[in-house]
Amino acid sequence: MKKLKVFFNAMVIALFALLIGAGFSTQTAHAEKTYQIGTDVTFPPFEFANNQNKYVGIDIDLMKAIAKDQGFKVNIKPIGFNAAVQATQSGQIDGVIAGMNITPERAQTFDFSKPYYKSGVVMAVKQGGSVKDLNQLRGKKVAVKTGTSGAAYANSIKNKYGFKVVTFDDSSNMYQDVLTGNSAACFEDEPVMKYSIKQGTKLAIVTKPADSGSYGFAVDKGKNKVLLAKFNKGLANLQKNGEYKKIVDHYLESKGTNAGSSDHTFWGILKQNKGFLWNGFLQTLWLSIVSIFFATLFGVIVGLLGVLPYKFFQGLSSTIIYIFRGLPLLVLALFIYTGIPTLTGTKIPAFIAGVVTLMFNEGAYIAAFVRGGINSVDSGQMEAARSLGLPFSKSMFKVILPQGIKLIIPSFINQFIITLKDTSILSIIGILELTQTGKIIIARNLEGFKVWTIVALIYLIVITLLTWLSKWGERRTRL
């Protein structure tokens, strides 16, 4: 009993320290007047990872140049367009620069800077394909990227031309859908599409730019007015002294800016990106370990509540398990990362949000098999212990729980395997785990099949090792 209490206390202290540390780092960043700026991860030439896996692009370089000109610091957070927009709205970050078109609808939610780039939407098809214009799209599917001007334009004309819109979270998957023939065309901003084609994407632009719009830096409505003013002033200075033109020309006029290794074999891709993939794997593993640690605490407590001889606690346990097993992991992650900060005004770091998400989700499953494991012990065991004069608590921890644990261990290891796989969903809130790492590499080298094969093999190797461990644990418990 004492050991169990010490274990629980250690978990609570660890969680408290993790939250305090996150809060301290946030306060420190604020004290240094460093602005947290969100951006996309796969939107070249505006933002992408180069062959050294460092984020570059027009938006990135422009933001850094303006920060230098105006004397402030920026921490660029490549979390994806959707996550960046939602994080700005919830106050998790200070602003977003991600090729974001200034529209009347967005202006109701965000305050925009002065435009820093003007663009238009074009339609691209597979090279040598049969589709040459909008009239040939009837009855077909077209691919778009969530939240972009290309998506807005496609949705505005889909009824007129009779096509169906398929939405993706990043450009590379959108292009791949066209290249594989699943979609007949895609809609993308002209400079982005031209740049991708220049870098080797086998697509062809077949329409003139339409629905022209301007990109702007955005902050939440009524917030960060000082930052917005500094951006506008810095942009004007860069345009005046010629630095702005240098940045734009570097990516749009020069050749091979995004070029990586010429070796696009499996081994060449792995060799070039081994450090990046290793860091993504470590993030996945660390996230899994921390999450399963706190999920165990949460799950054991909730599971034990379910076997107490009180209907209230049994009902509470069943309700918690029902809620967190019923919520999709993606919805839970977005609710914790963006929903709660919107309501409370308190920032939650992405890693903490990811841990809490997995703690609730995986903990609910752990609670279910903890409760089931204890209930599977013959009821006569409890009756015998009580007849010997042992109170309920001692009967539970001295007699019932040790027997139940033998049944729980294999399920616990299996849950760790599930947690490891579920971390991939957390890329939606910008955690740079293994899956997100794969997306970033693909955006640069356009080798989707090879990169996903490498990522899949990494997952399979780790999961195979954990499966062997599970079987070993199961055999041990039978002895």
Q: Dump pLDDT digits (tens) for 192-241.
A: 898 888 877 889 999 999 877 889 999 999 999 999 999 999 999 999 99
pLDDT tens track for 232-277:
999 999 999 999 999 998 888 755 444 445 566 888 888 878 888 8
Of all residues in the chain, the percent with pLDDT exceeding 90 is: 33
Q: At residue 163, does pLDDT exceed 70? A: yes
What average pLDDT does the segment 291-304 reach?
89
Q: What is the pLDDT of residue 411?
A: 72
Confidence of residue 402 (pLDDT cuts 50, 70, 90): low
Return phi, psi of residue 200, to 5°. 120, 0
Contact 50, 373 (CB under 8 A): no
How, if at all, do strands 73-78 and 34-39 pair? parallel
Cα–Cα distance between 255 and 252 in angstroms, integer?
Answer: 8
Return phi, psi of residue 262, to 5°. -75, -15
Stretch among 153-162, 302-311, 385-394 having the lowest mean pLDDT = 385-394
Amino acid at position 384, single letter? A
Mean pLDDT (the chain, rounded): 82
Cα–Cα distance between 474 and 260 in angstroms, integer?
Answer: 47
Amino acid at position 458, single letter? I
Q: At residue 415, does pLDDT exceed 90? A: no
pLDDT tens track for 3-21:
444 444 555 455 545 544 5
Q: What is the pLDDT of residue 229?
A: 94
- pTM, entire model: 0.69
Q: Kindly state the tokens that stand for 170.
A: 């990043």
Q: What is the pLDDT of residue 122?
A: 94
Q: Greatest CA span in the chain, whole angstroms?
A: 89
How, if at all, do strands 117-126 and 185-189 pair? antiparallel
Cα–Cα distance between 383 and 389 in angstroms, integer?
Answer: 10
Q: At residue 134, does pLDDT exceed 70? A: yes
Q: What is the pLDDT of residue 463?
A: 86
Contact 27, 241 (CB under 8 A): no
Amino acid at position 127, single letter? Q
Cα–Cα distance between 351 and 72 in angstroms, integer?
Answer: 25
Contact 277, 347 (CB under 8 A): no
Instruction: Please choose, from the candidates 410, 422, 282, the residue with its C-alpha nearest in 3D space to the C-alpha of residue 358.
Output: 422
Residue position matching structure tokens 């609730």: 360
Please give the torsion angle defined by the CA atoms of residues 332, 333, 335 and 336, in that order, rounded to the nearest 10 degrees. Answer: 110
Instruction: Please choose, from the candidates 175, 191, 163, 189, the residue with its C-alpha nearest in 3D space to the C-alpha of residue 127.
Output: 175
Number of CB atoms found within 10 A of residue 172's CB: 29
- Paired strand residues for 142: 165, 185
Return phi, psi of residue 188, to 5°. -150, 155
Q: What is the pLDDT of residue 105?
A: 87
pLDDT tens track for 34-63:
899 999 877 888 988 877 778 889 999 999
Sign of CA dihedral 211, 212, 218, 221: negative
Q: What SS3 state is found at 245?
A: helix
Q: At residue 289, does pLDDT exceed 60? A: yes
Cα–Cα distance between 443 and 324 in angstroms, integer?
Answer: 34
pLDDT tens track for 311-323:
898 899 999 999 9
Cα within 13 Å of Cα(111), Cβ side: 15
Cα within 13 Å of Cα(56), Cβ side: 14
Q: Kindly state the tokens that stand for 464.
A: 């195979």
**Any idea what the Cα angle at residue 107 is, between residues 106 and 112, rounded to 5°?**
105
Confidence of residue 143 (pLDDT cuts 50, 70, 90): very high
Q: At residue 339, does pLDDT exceed 90? A: no
Cα–Cα distance between 185 and 206 in angstroms, integer?
Answer: 10
Which stretches of 328-463 are assigned E, i.e. beta strand? none
